[in-house]
Amino acid sequence: MRRGAADDRGRTDPVERSPEAARGLRERIAELRAQIERLDYAYYVLDTPEVPDAEYDRLLRELQQLEERHPELRATDSPTQRVAGAVRPDLQPAAHEVPMLSLANALNDEEAESFDARVCAALGIKEATYCCELKFDGLAVSLSYRGGAFERAATRGDGFVGEDVTDNVRTIRSVPLHLHGSVPAQLEIRGEVLMFRRDFERLNATQRTVGGKEFANPRNAAAGSLRQLDSKITAQRRLRFFAYGVAALAPPASGAKAAHLPVTQSGLLDWLQGLGLPVCEHRGLVKGMGGLRDFYERMAQRRDALPYEIDGVVFKVDDFGQQQRIGSLARAPRWAVARKFPPREALTTLLDIDVQVGRTGALTPVARLTPVEVGGVVVSSATLHNEDEIRRKDIRIGDTVVVRRAGDVIPEVVAVLPEHRPRHARQFVFPVRCPVCGSAVVRAADEAVARCSGGLVCPAQRKQALLHFASRRALDIDGLGDKIVDQLVDTGLVTHPAGLFGLELPVLADLDRMGEKSAANLLGALERARSTSLERFIFALGIRHVGETTARDLARHFGRFEAFAAADEAQLLQVPDIGPVVAHSIRQFLEEPRNRTEIAALLRKIRIAPSASAQRPQTLTGTTFVLTGTLPTLTREQATARIEAAGGHVSSAVSRKTEYVVAGSDPGSKLDKARELGVKVIDEGGLLAMLGEEGAH
């Protein structure tokens, strides 16, 4: 169930009105009725919501309050006098013997307290007992069983006549076709069809792949899936069902054992579960307003962890006899209320669009909004994800937009209301230059995210660039961690990688938690980093798509940095495993003027040894080695580098394709595997001999 009535408090204001005021009042009521009916049709018939639930509830409540104050203007066909919904003309109608009512809403503690007070007053008691359940964000349905066998399923529709969806419901695997145990001869179950979040995401991913229409939310996906003309489509959509009530009970079939029928809502849920029907585990039996408030708060905290969407909780007087004494209104029972959570979605105006640059250079458009409360928090900005999303949703500056916020997730603009678009609304032009550093903005053909190409110099990427530059696989500057980089950047001491090599002892020692000894150690690490290998230097630059392996392949192929920097895309494509995307990314990075300036500054500070492959004969080309145990003088990284520099390959596992296993002390199972397969085993001395380095360390 989803949208419901406002609460049932009524009052009249017998105030005389001028003809102009009376006419304005009638026009506003007519406008609200027409607008709500249009929204009902879009929501319930077309399964395409046009506004957030909170906006719909606001309109419905305004209409109800106007009609309560001016009952002479109330009409029997007003949306306030019936359950919202309609039967699609292409589906068979199905009448409900017992109307399927909606629920009144309580939007805050005060309205929940008023509900509790009215219940206690109607029953003449001080404290009522309630059954508390979840308010699912799905589609209400009625299931009929005859003699325990599934017979018919219908949607709620307008509360009196729904749509026959029997064949489609048969495909929902959580709906039993036969009930367990002794059951009434005829039983009508009320419950909710819904779609779990992961199935909703999978469905929309499929829709995008085939170019189909994406669904706005799981509720509309469930409704659209259940109301298909072809049940095969429904069967593919992974719908679920939860039972939460009954409409009618008939005596057991002749000769059958009498069914023990429950007399409370909590007992009913247990009974339904015993029949084999799925019943939500999150329910509770509480007393008074304190119990209602506690259940609400507990479920609000668990909301985002649930596998399905809920938009509130439902409070029901537990005892059926008490429910009958309290009674019902035309469209909602007086003995139950839906305590709504703060709306996840709201309408507001998009004032402008900024572009933020992340630590990795990704450009994210951010909507600046007229502040609005969403999910209990005032939101003034929201992500627009990327340029394609702005185009797909046709978002323009000045639009009225739907903003969604769920838990700790960053608020996002999910849709616009084109019918509210002002004449001055304008399209957003995505920048071609980084708004932070002015470097060119680049975007790969197969990616949705645009990025700043000034990775070495962009202030937005500065900390990330320095940390990567100093990482163990890059220049390996021991002691240059997150906290030190934060201080260096935040104080303006270092603005780019080359600036690291100009740091002095007094400045470093003055940093928080450093001291002279730590500062001296860091300066020593920086001095050692002044001499590095070509592959480490290439990797340290942070070129997109260039990881350790690619950097090694590039170093091995070009031998010297000058040759690498001068290579065009065609020459880069000659490197093994380098494709067009990587080649293009390298050239974009090296051709950015700001990066070239920074690289020139680094080359004045750092000595780059030519790749060993440029000097060493490729005597091990095509030979596969496996290293195991601890070697006497070489680390595993050093041994791997020397083998690869000579053209060899180092594998992590022994197989029949392995030519040599280099074994040190404590070799482990790899040595056993080598002997089993007959692979030749050598020690460090044997490896050095193959490398032509006998006696070298």
Q: Is 411 helix (H, G, I), strand (E, B) or coil?
A: coil
Domain with CATH 2.40.50.140 in the chain: 345-427
Q: Report pLDDT for 514.
A: 86
DSSP bridge partners of 365:
355
Question: How much is the average pLDDT of 583-593?
Answer: 92
Q: Which residue's entry shows tokens 């000659």?
A: 574
DSSP 597-649: HHHHHHHTT-EEEPPGGGTS--TTTT-EEEEESB-SS--HHHHHHHHHHTT-E
Distance CA 539, CA 591 (A): 17
Yes or no: say if 379 and 373 are a contact pair by the CB < 8 Å rule.
Answer: yes
pLDDT tier, 6 (very low <50, low <70, confident <90, very high otherwise)? very low
Q: Rounded to whole angstroms, how far apart are CA atoms 218 and 239?
A: 10
Q: Which of the given ranges, 5-9, 38-42, 602-606, has the highest pLDDT on average?
A: 602-606
- Residues 6 or more apart in contact with residue 591 via CB below 8 angstroms: none
CATH 3.40.50.10190: which residues of the chain? Answer: 616-690
Transcribe 8-75 into DSSP letters: -----------HHHHHHHHHHHHHHHHHHHHHHIIIIIS----S-HHHHHHHHHHHHHHHHH-GGG--
Q: DSSP of 285-333, one letter per residue?
A: EEEHHHHHHHHHHHHHHHGGGSSS-EEEEEEEESBHHHHHHH-B-SSSB
pLDDT score recorded for residue 17: 61
Is it the case that residue 85 has pLDDT exceeding 60? no
pLDDT of amino acid 613: 57
The answer to whether residue 12 scores a pLDDT higher than 50 is no
pLDDT for the residue 333: 92
SS3 label, residue 693: coil
- Which two three-digit tokens encode residue 122? 């109607």
| Residue 408's pLDDT band (cuts 50, 70, 90) | low
Tell me which of 281 and 248 has the higher pLDDT. 281
Question: What average pLDDT score do residues 165-170 get?
Answer: 91
Mean pLDDT of 355-380: 89
For residue 22, the model assigns a pLDDT of: 78
The DSSP-derived string for 233-259 is HHHTS--EEEEEEEEEE-PPPTTSPPP
For 603-652, the pLDDT digits (tens) are: 999 999 877 555 556 678 778 999 999 999 888 877 887 787 777 888 88
pLDDT grade for 253, boundaries at 50, 70 and 90 = very low
pLDDT in the model for residue 124: 95
- Mean pLDDT, the chain, rounded, equals 86
pLDDT of amino acid 14: 44
CATH superfamily of 345-427: Nucleic acid-binding proteins (2.40.50.140)
Q: pLDDT at residue 33 above 50?
A: yes
pLDDT tens sequence across 386-398: 999 899 889 999 9
pTM for this entry? 0.56
CA–CA distance, 163 with 228 (Å, rounded to integer): 11
What is the mean predicted confidence (pLDDT) over 59-68?
A: 85
Q: Which of 126, 135, 657, 673 is catalytic?
A: 135
Q: Is the pLDDT of residue 467 over 70?
A: yes
Give CATH 1.10.150.20 domain extents, the chain. 441-445+451-613
Question: Which CATH architecture fits 441-445+451-613?
Answer: Orthogonal Bundle (1.10)
Question: Is residue 2 over pLDDT 50?
Answer: no
| Contact partners, residue 434, CB within 8 Å, separation at least 6 | 357, 363, 440, 441, 452, 453, 454, 458, 460
pLDDT in tens, 195-246: 999 999 999 888 888 888 788 788 888 888 898 888 888 888 889 999 999 9
Average pLDDT over residues 369-376: 87
Closest residue by Cα to residue 238 from 230, 248, 226? 226
**Low-confidence winner among 6-20, 146-160, 161-175, 479-493 (lowest mean pLDDT):** 6-20
Average pLDDT over residues 428-456: 89
pLDDT for the residue 59: 85
Q: Provide the CB-side half-sphere exposure for 106 (13 A, CA).
A: 26
203 to each of 1, 74, 170, 212, how far by Cα in Å?
21, 43, 20, 10
Instruction: Give the architecture-level CATH label for domain 616-690.
Output: 3-Layer(aba) Sandwich (3.40)
Mean pLDDT of 244-271: 73
CA atoms within 13 A on the CB side of 374: 27
DSSP element (H, E) containing 508: helix 505-509
What average pLDDT does range 74-80 have in this prediction? 74
Strands 531-533 and 607-609, sheet pairing: parallel
- Average the pLDDT over 495-503 and give the result: 93
- C-alpha 674/C-alpha 479 separation (Å) is 40
Q: What is the mean pLDDT of residues 433-443?
A: 92
- Residues 266-323 have pLDDT tens digits of 999 999 999 999 999 999 999 999 999 999 999 999 998 899 999 899 999 999 999 9
Catalytic annotation present for 517: no
Instruction: Give residue-wise pLDDT tens across range 566-575.
Output: 999 999 998 8
Integer Cα distance of 223 and 62 in angstroms: 27
